[in-house]
Amino acid sequence: MSTPTSGHTAAFRAGAFPVEEDGRIVGHMVEKNAKPVIDGLSPFLRGVKGAALEIGSGTGQHIVRFARAFPDLDWTPSEPDAFHRYSIDAWRKHEGNTTNPAIEIDAAADWAAQTAVRAIAPLSLILNLNVIHISPFSVACGIVNGAGAALREGGLLAFYGPFRENGLHTGVGNATFDARLRADNPDWGLRDVAEITALGDAVGLTRIALLNMPANNRILILQKT
């Protein structure tokens, strides 16, 4: 089975992660993240039904586990990169998963207006993992702005990853990681919980939770009011 050979993002180039014959990218750290995220989200998603969109589904390993953990939600993965979308759909097939096919989303653009998103909106959940610190701040802005338009009343926007809090790093490791990211690309770096909360406030999303996670990560949850 052939796979796309262009459009790789830096994280998955040059054999950084193995790729199975069917096109599945295998990121071993991804596997470690899934259970803590599921455990953290479970109290907030108990009894929630409707459409769920993951923005930045990466390899596709997470969303097949989310769909298994939260079967009452109708999951749609998304990715801007064709190589990753191929991996996502290969994981869906491998797992016999009932998630929808991966769609292409540029999170920094007006993605909520896309036909593919409007077809599944209003959304009950938008989930974004480990993206906004390795992308320009315009991506964080786009995700929040789009969530304000695409979520139903009471719907949730959840971010997972490392954050700063009140301008400070939550640990030495995060400070070192942030410095390395900014050295690689000045537009990257750990975002502050307060600045994401402020973006949400501007579009009718209220912060309802900040959960401590392993390895100094957080789950930040905003709700449409």
The pair phi, psi for residue 188, each rounded to 5°, is -100, 175
Provide the b/e sequence for 184-199 (b: ≥16 CB within 10 Å). eeeebbbbbbeebbeb
Q: Does the reported pTM lie above 0.85?
A: yes
- Rounded Cα distance, 104 and 82, in Å: 8
- Rounded Cα distance, 193 and 169, in Å: 11
Average pLDDT, the chain: 91
> Quick one: average pLDDT of 42-57?
97
Structure token pair of residue 191: 């975002």
| pLDDT for 163 beyond 90 | yes
- Rounded Cα distance, 101 and 98, in Å: 9
Residue 18 has a pLDDT of 83
Taking a C-beta distance cutoff of 8 angstroms, is the pair 147, 203 a contact?
Answer: yes
Residue 17 has a pLDDT of 79
Q: What DSSP state is assigned to residue 25? A: B
Residue (of 32, 79, 86, 29) closest to 53 by Cα position: 79
Residue 16 has a pLDDT of 67
* pLDDT tens digits, one per residue of 4-40: 433 334 444 445 678 888 889 988 777 788 999 999 9
Q: Cβ of 44: how many Cβ atoms within 10 Å?
A: 16
45 vs 9, which has greater pLDDT?
A: 45
* pLDDT tens digits, one per residue of 106-133: 999 999 999 999 999 999 999 999 999 9
> Quick one: average pLDDT of 68-85?
95
Structure token pair of residue 49: 């039904």
In the chain the first and final C-alpha atoms are separated, in Å, by 46
67 vs 5, which has greater pLDDT?
A: 67
Taking a C-beta distance cutoff of 8 angstroms, is the pair 225, 167 a contact?
Answer: no
Residue 161 has a pLDDT of 97
Residue 7 has a pLDDT of 36
> Quick one: average pLDDT of 130-151?
98
Residue (of 90, 115, 119, 95) closest to 18 by Cα position: 90
Taking a C-beta distance cutoff of 8 angstroms, is the pair 215, 32 a contact?
Answer: no
Residue 15 has a pLDDT of 53
> Quick one: average pLDDT of 140-160?
98
- CA angle (129, 225, 46) in 5-degree steps: 55
> Quick one: average pLDDT of 165-173?
95
Residue 95 has a pLDDT of 87
Going from the C-alpha of 29 to that of each of 110, 113, 148, the distances in angstroms are: 31, 33, 31
Taking a C-beta distance cutoff of 8 angstroms, is the pair 23, 92 a contact?
Answer: no
Residue 29 has a pLDDT of 72
Question: What is the fold of 17-224?
Answer: Rossmann fold (3.40.50)
